[in-house]
Every structure is written in C-alpha cells, then in structure tokens.
Amino acid sequence: MAPARSAERLGPAANLPSEARGVTVPNFWNVERRVERPDIATVPKTLRFLTADDYPPFNFIASDGALSGFNVDLARAICAELEVTCAVQAVPFDTVASALEQGRGDAAVAGLTATPNARAVLDFSDRYLGTPARFVALTSKANIKADPEVIATKRVGVVSRTAHEAYLRAFFNEAAIRPFADLRGAQEALRKGEVDLLFGDGIALSLWLNGADSAACCAFVGGPFTESRFFGDGFAVAVKAGNDPLRAAINYALQRLWEKGTYTDLYLRWFPISFY
C-alpha cells in the first residue's frame, strides 16, 4: 500500500484494501507478484517467535493465562503456512531486539518497526500492518469531508507535541487546532462537542471506538492518512541480521496468508472496527 499524502488515498490497484463483512482490510502485498516457495530445509523445524505481553490486542496475557493477540495468531499462522512447529515466547518489549540478536529466538513479531536504527542491527520482513492516522467525529456529524478546505473550518483536537499535531500543521495548517495533553482529554472534548474532530493514531482510536469508553459516540471520518515520514512504515517481522533465508520464507508466508484469506480472518477477529 503506497503511502498517501494529505487527503490522497491508496496506491496501485494490486495493493488496494479489500472489504470483508463491511470492514476495510488493508493489503500490503502485490497479488501480481509471484513469490517462490522457500526451501523448507532452510527454515528451523521449530520456529521460535519472540513477542511481548503488554500491548493488547496485539500481544497480551488473556484471562486464562494464555499468550494471545493479533501478533501471536499471525506468528502461528506463519508457522502453519511453512509447515513447521511454532513456539511463541513473551519477553519484555525493550529486550525483544537484544534477545533476537543473542539467538534466544529466530524471529520477532511484537509491533516492531523497521526504522533506520533497527535496520542497523536486524533485518525485517515486508510490512504486515501499517499505523495510519485518522479523523474521528461524533456519529451525528460523521458526514464531514476530510478535505483541507473543510477541515480548515473545524475545531480539531489532537495530542500536543506528537507526529499527528505536526501533520495537521503541515497539511491542514488552517485548521483551528486544539492541542491536548493526552488522548483521553481530546476524546472527552470530542464527546462534549468542544471540538468537531479528533485526529490521532488510527489503531488507538479504533480500539476506543470499539470499547465501552466511547459509548458508541463517534465514527471515523476520511482517511486513512499513511504518510510514512510522520507515521512510520508500520510493523514488520524482525530476524537476526543476515538471516535472508528465514526472512524470505516469512515474506512468502505473509503473502500466502493474504492470498488465502487467513490474514483477513485475523484482522477481522482483532480489529472489528478497521483503522483503514
């Protein structure tokens, strides 16, 4: 999916998102690209995935004590596609990269992003999830168009000193921006009608919209906004630097999971309100 600038949206037709049960599911794979099946002999018979346990719904400890979440299910689906045994272990998030470097796991799926600093010590798969920004409005006003000319006439809440505020000032600089110290304050201002729109991280906002705290007050408007310069390149699976066979195998598995609909099923399970 090509990054979009301002109110522009998604890229080439081969990478357009799909609709499933009324939910927009992102697609990061070119279905016209044929990825060869890897030599399974190059993949460990037991593929050891590292993740964290403090980032619901991506990776967390469920009420029954089991490690759960989108990342965990995705790791297991990759193993199933490669026909290898799967072992998923949780470690503190700030130790994931070092644990992978030390050989305590073969791959990491923990909401890691392929930043320049991270690429200096690890290699990464293709992106499996983006981190777009979105506007949210009261449901009664969800027909607002997210065009710069329209936004310029609205009061827009945003968390101060964030990439989302910087983006607003760069592309919607005529908007009546209302910075807030935290997301909760901005959400409450939207519910009270003190702002017309809230702009922020699409993932966090989708979880709020799907939760009890929002009381079904609001809905997404326009977007998604995917400018990587502001919002990053999204999540990818990390492997130890130089492990090209495993990285290629994971890329193959990810594309196959998309083509077979497995990725869509996982996305719908964990994100019933899509952030795309």
Q: Which residues contact 194 (CB under 8 A, 6 or more apart)?
A: 155, 157, 178
Nearest to 235 by CA among 263, 215, 212: 263
Backbone angles phi, psi at 251, to 5 degrees: -60, -40
Q: Are strands 235-240 and 107-108 parallel, antiparallel or unpaired?
A: antiparallel
Q: What is the predicted pLDDT for the residue at 77?
A: 98
**pLDDT 10s digits, 140-168:** 998 888 888 899 999 999 999 999 999 99
Give 174's contacts (C-beta < 8 A, 6+ positions apart): 148, 151, 152
Q: What is the 3-state secondary structure (H, E, C) of 155-184?
A: EEEEECCCHHHHHHHHHCCCCEEEEECCHH
Q: Provide the mean pLDDT of the chain.
A: 90
| pLDDT category of residue 16 using cuts at 50, 70 and 90 | low
Determine if residue 257 is left, alpha or beta; phi over 0 gives left, psi from -120 to 50 gives alpha, anything else beta. Answer: alpha
For residue 242, is it left (φ>0), alpha (ψ between -120 and 50) or beta?
A: left
Element containing residue 8 per DSSP (H, E)? none
pLDDT digits (tens, 9 = 90+) for 74-118: 999 999 999 999 999 999 999 999 999 999 999 999 999 998 889
**Helix H or strand E segment including 121:** none
**Residue listed under structure tokens 């594309």:** 255
Backbone torsions φ then ψ of 223, nearest 5 degrees: 80, -170
Distance CA 256, CA 252 (A): 6
The pLDDT of residue 8 is 31
**What domains are defined for the chain?**
13-130+233-270 (3.40.190.10), 133-225 (3.40.190.10)
- On the question of pLDDT at 11 being above 70, the answer is no
Q: Which residue has 């026909």 as its token pair?
A: 83
- The number of beta carbons lying within 10 Å of the beta carbon of residue 103 is 9
CA 172 – CA 148 distance, rounded (Å): 5
Percent of the chain surpassing pLDDT 70: 92
